[in-house]
Structure 1
Amino acid sequence: MKKYNWGMIGTGWIAHEMADALNAVNGEVYAVADVNEEMLEKFAKEKHITYTFTNPDEMIADPNIDIIYIATPHTFHYEYIKKALNANKHVFAEKAMTVNARQFDEVEKLAKEKGLILTEGFTLYHMPIYQKVLNLIKSGKLGKIKMIQVNFGSLKDYDPKNRFFNKDLAGGALLDIGGYATAFARTFLDEAPESILTTVKFFETGVDEQSGIILKNTQDQMVVMALSMRAKQPKRGVVSGTKGYVEINQYPRATTAEITYTASTHEETHETMTAGNNDDALKYEVQDMQRYIEQGHDDGQLQMSHDIAHILTSVRTSWGMKYPFD
């Protein structure tokens, strides 16, 4: 496999994890950009990165860079993705890739026109356990999938000034953690939902603090989601079929799936499947991204992200919640 040079935009906590993953998989990180020079130099020294840029546009223009990784707040993703694609760079953007479906459709179209890989940083796309569960479902052992339940609750400190609650930075539970729940649900649906019911409780800043969301597609498969930003919930997903169900805990970086077979009305049988390593989640992302480039397609991940972006925008539209830049 060719050696790929990654350029990173942003030096927050997830960028720290990604830099470690890149160093482990590729042996180095080629470059990093951040407008905060002090944070930039500290990050570059800690992660052994040679090339640093206080202007991300200059890094994007570097002809030696193959892949741009974007780990800024949500609101900056769209512009950086466009700039990177127009510079003929492949792009790996943290979730949410864009703040709305309109932006997503634009960058998706641009990536396809240029023949470039554009991928969103949902770790569950890349955890090995999911392929095992999908193969189990494909085998028919769980019967027809009928219902998916998924929770994600985070307990953020009460701070109206924090980015999690800041409308100008696309705050709220839906974009921060709801994407993961939606990605989990979409993974196991046979097709995208066409019906959405939802209700929301807003935080004082006008972003969504907690919500309930029900999705249904034309095959009558249903999803029930519960999201919260000020109340902890287990990161738990359940996929239920006519012959059994699968429970996946800590689903964003899951390594274990508990299967219960219910075809018999008199007794249940249980099975545990394991695959992958939680600590290697971002290494799997790096390896898959580079594999997508090698093979010339992304195994359908951009289409999954397309569906997720449209679901999230439809939910917000139902709430009447708009960001200043919508």
Structure 2
Amino acid sequence: MMTYNWGMIGTGWIAHEMADALNKVNGTIYAVADLNEDKLQKFASEKNISKTYKDPDEMIKDPDIDVIYIATPHTYHFEYIKKALNAGKHVFCEKAITVNATQFDEVKELATKNNLILTEGFTLLHMPIYDQVRDLINSGEIGDVKLVQVNFGSLKDYDPKNRFFNKELAGGALLDIGGYATAFARTFLKEQPNNILTTVKYFETGVDEQSGIILKNSSEQMAVMALSMRAKQPKRGIISGTKGYVEINNYPRATSAEITYTEDAHKQTTHTITSGNAEQALEYEVSDMQRYIKEGHDDGQLALSGDVAHILDSVRNEWGMKYPFELK
């Protein structure tokens, strides 16, 4: 198996998970960068990384690096992605890949121009169960898809100073967890939505605490989403068609899907399909990223991320919510 020299920016909890996945799939991690020297050295020691950089910009310039992994707060993604792509590196970036669609369109164009792979860390796009679900839906087994329902509710500790609630750092439920729900919805809609209805409740810092979002496309398919950062919800997605529906629990890292057939109102039947392991979610991401690099294409992953970015922008436009740095 071909291995790649990965350079990691950031040493937070998701970077810890990714480092473990990289060591399992790739066998090694070439380098890591973090502005905090203590965290940097501790992380490098724990994950068996020999090369460290206190300045991420210097690591990006390293000619031996193939792939840059970015796990910083949202507001840093755009600049690091641009620097990495301009340095000829493939990029795997945690969600939200950028804070708005304008930034996304710029980095997508840059990746395409430089013939590089740019991928967003949506686990649900890489879980094996979704290949089976897509095949089932494409076969017409649940009929014409009419409605997608999806929610994501997390219970963040009350802390106005935390980055989750910091408007300067693009905090709020929409960018932190809304991308997952939107990616799920867009995966099972034939077309990009062109009609959005939404309402929002703000946290005291001005970020979106929770929201309800309805999407509709020109095929009259609809998606209904509920998001919250201060109320726990089961992560559940349902794809409903004219002959049945598919219910997926823990959809960001799903390993099973329950299919219920409803065409006969007097005799509904249900069965479950399974695939994959939730604990290997990030390993699937790494394997796909390295396959994308090897094959020179990304199975349409970046295009879907672009649709998500534009939907999230449209939602915020409906709210009239801008981040402070967007007003400068």
Same fold (TM over 0.5): yes
Separation in structure 2 between the aligned mates of residue 309 and residue 262 of structure 1, nearest angstrom: 34
Partner of residue 177, structure 1: 177
Alpha carbons 2:66, 2:89 under 8 Å: kept: yes
1:2 shift after superposition: 2.6
Aligned pair 1:187/2:205, yes or no? Answer: no
SS in structure 1 at match of 2:292: helix
1:325 shift after superposition: 1.7
Alpha carbons 2:143, 2:243 under 8 Å: kept: yes
Separation in structure 2 between the aligned mates of residue 154 and residue 276 of structure 1, nearest angstrom: 24
Query: What amino acid does structure 1 have at the position aligned with 2:275?
Result: A
Query: What amino acid does structure 1 have at the position aligned with 2:195?
Result: S
Matches within 5 A, 1:265-280: 265-280=265-280
Query: What amino acid does structure 2 have at the position aligned with 1:16?
Result: H
Partner of residue 115, structure 2: 115
Partner of residue 255, structure 1: 255
Partner of residue 25, structure 1: 25
Partner of residue 323, structure 1: 323
Structure 2 residue runs without a partner (length 5+)? none
Partner of residue 239, structure 1: 239
Separation in structure 1 between the aligned mates of residue 237 and residue 274 of structure 2, nearest angstrom: 16
Separation in structure 1 between the aligned mates of residue 44 and residue 146 of structure 2, nearest angstrom: 48
Alpha carbons 2:3, 2:27 under 8 Å: kept: no
Identity of aligned residues (%): 75
TM-score for the superposition, normalised by structure 2: 0.99
Separation in structure 2 between the aligned mates of residue 157 and residue 289 of structure 1, nearest angstrom: 33
Query: What amino acid does structure 1 have at the position aligned with 2:43?
Result: F
Per-residue displacement from partner, 1:106-128 (whole Å, max 9, x unpaired)?
Answer: 00000000000000000000000
Partner of residue 142, structure 1: 142
SS in structure 1 at match of 2:325: coil
Aligned pair 1:48/2:45, yes or no? Answer: no
Separation in structure 1 between the aligned mates of residue 3 and residue 227 of structure 2, nearest angstrom: 40
Separation in structure 2 between the aligned mates of residue 28 and residue 4 of structure 1, nearest angstrom: 8
Matches within 5 A, 1:146-161: 146-161=146-161
Separation in structure 2 between the aligned mates of residue 318 and residue 140 of structure 1, nearest angstrom: 34
Separation in structure 1 between the aligned mates of residue 35 and residue 110 of structure 2, nearest angstrom: 26
Partner of residue 4, structure 2: 4
Separation in structure 2 between the aligned mates of residue 89 and residue 238 of structure 1, nearest angstrom: 37
1:3 shift after superposition: 1.7
Per-residue displacement from partner, 1:63-94 (whole Å, max 9, x unpaired)?
Answer: 11000000000000000000000000000000
TM-score for the superposition, normalised by structure 1: 0.99
Separation in structure 1 between the aligned mates of residue 97 and residue 316 of structure 2, nearest angstrom: 16
Structure 1 residue runs without a partner (length 5+)? none
Query: What amino acid does structure 1 have at the position aligned with 2:28?
Result: E
Per-residue displacement from partner, 1:180-218 (whole Å, max 9, x unpaired)?
Answer: 000010111111101100000000100000000000000
Query: What amino acid does structure 2 have at the position aligned with 1:315?
Result: V
1:265 shift after superposition: 1.8
Separation in structure 1 between the aligned mates of residue 265 and residue 46 of structure 2, nearest angstrom: 58
1:300 shift after superposition: 0.3
Partner of residue 228, structure 1: 228
Matches within 5 A, 1:30-109: 30-109=30-109
Query: What amino acid does structure 2 have at the position aligned with 1:284?
Result: Y
